[in-house]
A and B are shown apart, each in its own frame.
Chain A
C-alpha cells in the first residue's frame, strides 16, 4: 500500500470493532435465545401443548447455527485481544485475568450442556428431565455475558489496582471485578440481549403470519415472544436510566460528549438532534429543559459536568452524540411497537394477528433491536476514547506495533462477509424447506385449531 501511511493503532481499532461488531450479533442471540427456548419448552410441558414444544425445537435448531458462528467469532476476539493489543493484555493479564478465566468456564459449561440438550430430545422417560438440561445452558450463557462485561466495566472504570510510575504495584483481583460501572453495564447487556432475542423471534412469527400462514402455532409464538419483549423493554429502559446516572457520576466526559454539554451548569437541558457548527455552536437541535439534569442526577436543578472541564486530549469524539440520538430513536420505535401490540391485545377485537401494519412493524423491530445493540456498544466503546483503560492507559499505548494489520483487516472483513452470507442462507433454507405446519403434520401433532 504505497502512498498511505501505515497506522497500526487505527487499523487495530478498526479490526477490533469489525470483529466485535460482527460477534455481538451472535453473542446477543447466544445470551437471549436459550432463555426463550426454555420458556417455550416449559410452557409446552405445563400446558401439555405440542405447539410450544415444537417451537422450542425449531428455535433450538436454528440456534445451533448461530452458536457456531458465535463460538468461532468469540474465539477470534479472544485471540485478537492478545494479537492486536499486546501491551494492554500485559496489564489486563495482571489485573483482570480472573473474570476472563471465569468466562471460559461459563462457556465450557454452556457448551457441554447445549450439546447434550440438542441430542436428547427423546432420550428420557420423564418429560421434565430434558428441560433441566437447559438450566446450565441459560446459566452458562448469561454468566459468560456477566464475566466478559465485568472485563469491559473494568476498562471503563478501572479499580482494584495501584499504579506507581506507569507500573502496577498491587492488584486486588476481586476488587477489580467490582468496578462501579459493573452493575449497570451487566444489567443493561443482559436485559437488552433478552429484548433483542424476543424481537428477533417475534419477527419470525410475524413474518409467517404476514405471509398468510394463519396457523395457531405462529400466534402462540408471537404472543409468547412479544410478551417477553414487553417485559424486557421496560426493564432495559429502567436500567438505561441508571446507566445515565452512573455516567454522570463516574464518566462525566462520556455523558458530556454524548450530549454536547460544554458548560458545567445546573438545570441542564437534554439536546436531541442538531448539528455542531464551528466554535461548538449547536444548530437545529431540539432541547428538552432540565432533562439532562434529571437523567444525570434525578433532580432538575442538579449540576452536570460539561466538556470544558475535561482536558482537551481526554475528550471523547463528539460524534457520539449522533450515535446516542440514533440509538434513542431505535428505543422509541421498539417501545412504540410493544405498546401497539399491547393495545391490540387489549382492544384489538381479534385484529391482533391480522393487522398487516402491526405485523410489519414487528418484523422491522428485529433489525432495529440489533442496530440498537450495535449503536449502544459503539457509544460505550468510542465514548471512553482516548483511553483503553480509563485514566491508566491510552488506546495508542496498548496497540500492537506489528506490521500486516492492514492485510489482516481485509482478510477478516472477507471472512465475516462470507460467514454472514452463509449463515443467512443456511438458516433461511433450513426453515423454508421445512415449515412448522409441515413438521406438525409429519410428527402427527396436528389437531390444533386454525382460528
Chain B
C-alpha cells in the first residue's frame, strides 16, 4: 500500500472515530437539554451525565488529530481548504468553543444553569452541520481557483445547492440517531428502565429520517458530482451492507434485545457508508483540484508521521481501553453505584 493511501486511510479512520464519538456526545447534549424542557430531565439526566463526564475531552482530540494529520500528510489541503473555509471553519470553532466550555461550566460549576444548558445543547446540533461543510466542499463546485492561483469560496453556490442541504440534514439526524442508539444501550446496561424507554423512542423516531436522508444525499451526489456517484455505484455492496446493518440494529432495538449488538451494528452501518463514500471519493481530496497524489508530503515526513502514529497508538489503545473499562464496562459505575468524585 502506498504512503498516500495509508495516510488518508488512517485519517479517515480517525474522522470516523470522531463521527461516532462526537455524535454520541452532541446528541446526548441535545437530549439532555430537550428533556429539561419537556420535564423528563430527572429520568435520563443521570445516565447521560455518567457517560459524558469522563469522556468529553477525548472527543475533541479525534477532530484535532484529523486536521493536524491531514495538513501533515497533504500540506496543500491547508492551502485550499484553509482559504476557502475561513467563515464556515470559524463558525465551527466558535460553536465548539461554546459547547465545550459551557459543558464544563454547567457540569462542574456549582449549580446547573438553564442558559448554559441551552448553549451547550443547541450548539451541539449546529456543529455537525457546520463541520459537514468540509465534506460538501470536497465534492467540488464551491471553490474557484483564479488564474493567479488564488482560491475563492463561492458562498452563493453552497447555500443554493440541494446537495449541501442534504448533507446538513443527514449530519443532523444521524447525530440524534447514533446518540439515541448508544444511550439506549447505556441506559439498559445501567438497569434504568425509565431512561431506557425514553431514549429508545428517540432512537426509533430518528431511524427512518436517517435512512431517508442518506438516500437523499445519494441522489444529490448524482446530480452534483456524477463521477463520484459512478464510483459509489461500483462500491454498491458497501452501501447494501450498511443498510442491512441498519435493519438489524433497528430490529434489535424494537425487540428490546441484545442492545450492545444493536449499537455495534449502528457503528457498522456508518462504517460501511462512511468508508464506501470515502473510497469512492478517491483519489480526490478536493475535486477536481487536489488528489492524494498531488504534493504529497516528502517520504521522510510520511515515514516519520506513520512511525509516530504507530507509537502513539501503542500508547493510546491501552489508555482508551482503561477509560472504557472504568466508565463503560464497569457495571457498578454505569449503575451509579460508585461515587463520582
Contact = CB atoms under 8 A, between A and B. Distances in A.
Given A72-B100, A73-B97, A408-B87, A107 B79 contact: no
A26 to B, nearest CB: 10
B67 A82 contact: yes
Interface residues of B, number: 73
Given A78-B68, A93-B72, A83 B61 contact: no
B279 interface: no
A171 B57 CA distance: 34
B67 A426 contact: no
Nearest to B105: A426
Interface in A71-91: 71-76, 78-80, 82-87, 89-91
A90 B308 contact: no
Contacts of B69: 101, 104
A118 interface: yes
A65 B100 CA distance: 10
Given A98-B304, A107-B61, A109-B315, A76 B298 contact: no
A170 B298 contact: yes
A173 B341 contact: no
Interface in B28-82: 53-58, 60-61, 63-65, 67-69, 71-76, 78-82
A111 B320 CA distance: 10
Interface string A46-79: 0000000000010001001101110111111011
A291 interface: no
Contact of B83 (A136, A172, A400, A426): A400
B341 A415 contact: no
A400 B84 CA distance: 9
A234 interface: no
Contacts of B326: 116, 119-120, 123
19 contacts: A61-B108, A65-B109, A68-B57, A72-B96, A79-B89, A82-B71, A100-B71, A101-B305, A104-B68, A115-B56, A121-B339, A121-B341, A122-B338, A122-B339, A173-B304, A400-B86, A401-B83, A419-B101, A430-B110
Interface of A: 57, 61, 64-65, 67-69, 71-76, 78-80, 82-87, 89-95, 97-98, 100-105, 107-109, 111-116, 118-123, 136, 170-174, 400-405, 407-408, 411-412, 415, 419, 422-423, 426, 429-430, 433-434
Interface of B: 53-58, 60-61, 63-65, 67-69, 71-76, 78-87, 89-90, 92-94, 96-105, 108-111, 150-151, 153, 297-298, 300-301, 304-305, 308-309, 312, 315-316, 319-320, 322-323, 326-327, 338-341
